[in-house]
Amino acid sequence: MARPRKKRNKEIFALGNEAVVEGALLAGCTFYGGYPITPSSEIMEIMAQRLPLIPNGSFIQMEDEIAGLGSVIGASLAGRKAMTATSGPGFSLMQEHLGYGCITETPLVIVNVMRGGPSTGLPTSPAQGDVQQARWGTHGDHSIIVLSASNVQECLDNTIEAFNLAEKYRTPVILLIDEITAHTREKIIIPNPDEYEVFNRIVPTMPPEWYKPYEETVRGVPPMPAIGSGYRFHVTGLTHDTNGFPTSRPDEVRELNERLFRKIDQFLHDVQLVDEVDTEDAEIVVIAYGTVARSAELAVKQARDLGVKAGLLKLSTLFPYPRKATERIMAKANTLVVPEMNMGQISREVKRVNNGQVSVRTINKVDGQIITPAEILKVLTRV
Amino acid sequence: MVDMKGTQLIHEYLRHNKKFPHVFCAGCGHGIVLGSLIRAIHGLGLKKDEVCVVAGIGCSGRLAAYVDFNTVHTTHGRALTFATGIKMAKPGMHVIVVMGDGDSMAIGGNHLIHAARRNIGVTALILNNNIYGMTGGQCSPTTPSGSFSMTTPLGQMEQSFDCVELCTAAKANYVARGTVFHVKKLDKMIMEGISNPGFGVVEILTPCHTQYGRKNKYKTPVDMYKMLKKDVIDIERYNKLSEADKAAKTPAGVFVQKDESGLEEKFYEMAARCQGGV
């Protein structure tokens, strides 16, 4: 996480999945709707215990993941901060409503604890196979924010960040973690209320009769009233005009679609979160995310001990892909190494940014096992 | 309640800034349902801000855009899932879900039976026209055996769903069937459905002449309304018929009326007890 914090206090020993819940509750989440699936179920189970204990908290187990995300969108439209969690098969079912969330600009958070695929795959083993699905899974051209977490503390921190970005940009935000981080139990620090920022969606202040639900604003993000707050308007998954009613007029269609991209693209500096380790003088830089970034951190340290000028670019934001940070690294490094538990999904993005300027090496593993520090070190020392 | 009639209700409850005309064909029953819904809401004296109309996809789905309430036009078959989220988040809201027959019983069949089972306090209006109208006249789960559609050119060989029996078996609080021909009764059913604390279903038989009628020997829309008048009879009269006569008739009326509290009420009661420091 790129955002620093001052002092630390309460420490707990928690699973990655538990940390997601802690983060969500700190961020102000009061609604969870979903369907249980390994290896994300602990998030749902703990939410079922915790949400009834907080004022206005509500929890519901739906009949499938489609319904789970549907209920989350409904709750978010009704003014709640809402989330769901799932894994690969459930994430596939959610794609329909993910697109609905994008076009209706409904803030929500989906946590996808990645397991081996395709299909039912490896329910209890880690993978990073859903990265491009998170970006392009729902039909139609759309913009989206995808975050990741590489350890239990980041599960907490990045869940808060996911809620903040969702509220700020009125968009679904996907947090990708993998089975290892979700089921790792380690010490984490619960931040004090003054140590983290909570962003709430902007609500309209004008009289209801002046309100236009999808009007252009400076930031490209229109204010969003809750259902029942006096602003009666139409929400639709059809392409709509600024009043929210269906349209197929090319000028109105273009305006909406372009704004949906622009509202995120003009604030990339706020959305693209990365961490850099030893990159100042690095000649060979590992670009990693999720659990693999943890292996990479140790590998980079060991490589330094062996005299290799290695560094790590750890991606907290996967999409929009942090192009600027990668280009900054490329200015000095002559080799990029991209280890992933898939056959090359973020390395596609790296190669696209790189465009043949430096050498890009990939380490790919799809056997349900983590990429170890030794495997990365081997590549770092051989290059 | 201010006494309002005809055009006064239209001016009060239809959206002024919506680009009319509506999508319904001449002779379609959906507009009658829209009128019935408005009269029911007006009759109950509900505030516009406290009403949320959630609709699915299809001709019936477009109904939400015309009324001046909080309106959500959702995805195909999933309207009940959004409604469940809205009701859980805002239990004071009167959530009314408008769906078609294909919407609610084919792609959304699972959501329908589970909404009924968990008895969430929303009201579902199922506009059953026995066909996929907007998509161009393909068969739906309620297309009667033997009738014709674009995807059953040789006649429907499957059985059709009985919405009332389905929702009754799934334990909905309130189950009724009305038609767009018997409008006074329909107004009352929608009012009762909205007033019920749990899950209410009103199946509304509404003819689609454009896609169903003309392929099934109903020469004009009027013939379809005549069919509703002739074939749909009150449940009490229906029960007195012989088994042979029953086959040709469809019973209408209120089938189930229970007073169980809705899921959201139970949930918040339990939550209040938990927060009370037990």
Average pLDDT of the residues in B121-133: 97
Which residues span the domain enclosing B240?
A: 6-275
- Using a CB–CB cutoff of 8 Å, tell me whether B88 touches chain A: yes
Domain A11-195, CATH class in plain words: alpha beta
Task: Report the percent of chain B where pLDDT is more than 90.
Answer: 94
Q: Which residues contact B158 (CB under 8 A, 6 or more apart)?
A: B139, B145
Please check whether residue B1 lies inside any domain of the structure.
Answer: no
A201 touches chain B (CB under 8 A): no
Distance of CA B125 to the CA centre of its chain: 2
Report the residue from B52, B54, B78 with minimal CB separation from A66. B78
pLDDT digits 0-9 by tens, A72-124: 999 999 999 999 999 999 999 999 999 999 999 999 999 999 999 999 999 99
pLDDT over 90 at B278, yes or no: no
Q: Is the pLDDT of residue B192 over 80?
A: yes
Asked if A80 is an interface residue toward chain B (Cβ–Cβ < 8 A), one would say yes
Is the separation of the CB atoms in B174 and B161 below 8 Å?
no
Considering just the CA atoms, what is the radius of gyration of chain A in Å? 21
Rg for chain B (alpha carbons), in Å?
A: 19
Q: How buried is B80 (Cβ within 10 angstroms: 0-12 exposed, 13-18 middle, 19+ buried)?
A: buried
Q: Is B86 part of the contact surface with chain A (CB cutoff 8 Å)?
A: yes
Residue B16: predicted pLDDT? 84
Residue of chain B whose alpha carbon sits nearest to that of A232: B70
Contact B117, B86 (CB under 8 A): no
Is the CB of residue A224 less than 8 Å from the CB of residue A201? yes
Confidence of residue A7 (pLDDT cuts 50, 70, 90): low
Q: Is A288 in contact with A338 (CB distance < 8 Å)?
A: yes
Query: What part of A 23-52 touches B (C-beta under 8 Å)?
Result: 31, 33, 52
Q: pLDDT tens, B56-110?
A: 999 999 999 999 999 999 999 999 999 999 999 999 999 999 999 999 999 999 9
* CATH 3.40.50.920 domain locations along chain A: 274-382
Give yes or no for residue A210 having a pLDDT over 70: yes
pLDDT on residue A3: 65
Residues contacting residue A355 through CB under 8 Å, at least 6 positions apart: none
**pLDDT of B2 over the 90 cut:** no
**Complex ipTM tops 0.95:** yes
> Global pTM?
0.96
Q: Classify residue B233: in a domain, yes or no.
A: yes
Distance CA A149, CA A43 (A): 15
Handedness of CA B176, B180, B185, B190 (dihedral sign): positive
pLDDT band at A334 (very low <50, low <70, confident <90, very high): very high
For residue A240, what are its two tokens?
Answer: 């709509």
B130: left (phi over 0), alpha (psi -120 to 50) or beta: left
- Residue-wise pLDDT tens digits, B204-255: 999 999 999 999 999 999 999 999 999 999 999 999 999 999 999 999 999 9
Q: Among A4-13, A164-173, A361-370, B184-193, which stretch is predicted with the lowest mean pLDDT? A: A4-13
pLDDT of res. A43: 98
Write a three-state SS string for chain A: CCCCCCCCCCEEEEEHHHHHHHHHHHHCCCEEEECCCCCCHHHHHHHHHHHHHCCCCEEEECCCHHHHHHHHHHHHHCCCCEEEEECHHHHHHHHHHHHHHHHCCCCEEEEEEEEECCCCCEEEEECCCCHHHHHHCCCCCCCCEEEECCCHHHHHHHHHHHHHHHHHHCCEEEEEEEHHHHCCEEEEECCCHHHCCCCCCCCCCCCHHHCCCCCCCCCCCCCCCCCCCCCCCEEECCCECCCCCECCCHHHHHHHHHHHHHHHHCCHHHHCCEEEECCCCCCEEEEECCHHHHHHHHHHHHHHHCCCCEEEEEECEEECCCHHHHHHHHCCCCEEEEEECCCCCHHHHHHHHHCCCCEEEEEECCCCCCCCHHHHHHHHHHC
Name the token pair of A383.
């290059």
The answer to whether the peptide bond before residue A118 is cis (omega within 30 degrees of 0) is yes
- Which CATH number belongs to the domain containing residue B147 in this structure? 3.40.50.970
Burial class (CB in 10 A: 0-12, 13-18, 19+), A7: exposed
Q: Name chain B contacts of A236, Cβ cutoff 8 Å.
A: 65, 72-73
Q: How confident is the model at residue A279 (pLDDT cuts 50, 70, 90)?
A: very high
- The pair of three-digit structure tokens given for residue A25, joined into one six-digit string: 């509750």
DSSP β-bridge partners for residue A59: A32
B273 touches chain A (CB under 8 A): no
| Domain A274-382 CATH class label | alpha beta
Say yes or no: B84 contacts chain A, CB-CB below 8 A.
Answer: yes
Task: Check if B20 contacts A (Cβ < 8 Å).
Answer: no
Contacts of B268 in chain A (CB under 8 A): 58
Taking contacts as CB-CB distances below 8 angstroms, the residues of chain A near B52 are: 227-228
For an interface test with B, the pick among A72, A227, A245, A249 (most B C-beta atoms closer than 10 Å) comes out as: A227
Q: What is the arithmetic mean of pLDDT over A41-46?
A: 98
Phi then psi dihedrals of residue A13, to 5 deg:
-105, 110
Number of domains in chain B: 1
Region A351-378 average pLDDT: 97
Cβ of A237 under 8 Å from any chain B Cβ?
yes
Could you give the percent of chain A with pLDDT greater than 70?
A: 98
Asked if the structure places residue B129 within a domain, the reply is yes
For chains A and B, CB pairs below 8 A equal 147
Count of C-beta atoms within a 10 Å radius of residue A10: 9
Candidate from A292-306, A365-379, B7-21, B175-189 with smallest mean pLDDT = B7-21
Spatial separation of the C-alpha atoms in residues B27 and A129, rounded to whole Å? 52
Considering only CA atoms, which of B44, B39, B50 is closest in space to residue B14?
B39
Of the candidates A58, A70, A246, the beta carbon closest to that of B89 is on: A58
Q: Is pLDDT above 90 for A170?
A: yes
Predicted pLDDT at A1: 56
Task: Delimit the CATH 3.40.50.970 region(s) of chain A.
Answer: 11-195
B70 and A233 Cβ atoms separated by less than 8 Å: yes
Can you state the angle between helices A88-103 and A65-77, rounded to 10 degrees?
30
Q: What pLDDT, on the 0 to 100 scale, is given for residue A6?
A: 58
Distance from CA of A32 to the nearest CA of B (A): 9
SS3 assignment, position B182: coil
Distance from the B221 Cα atom to the nearest Cα atom in chain A, whole angstroms: 28
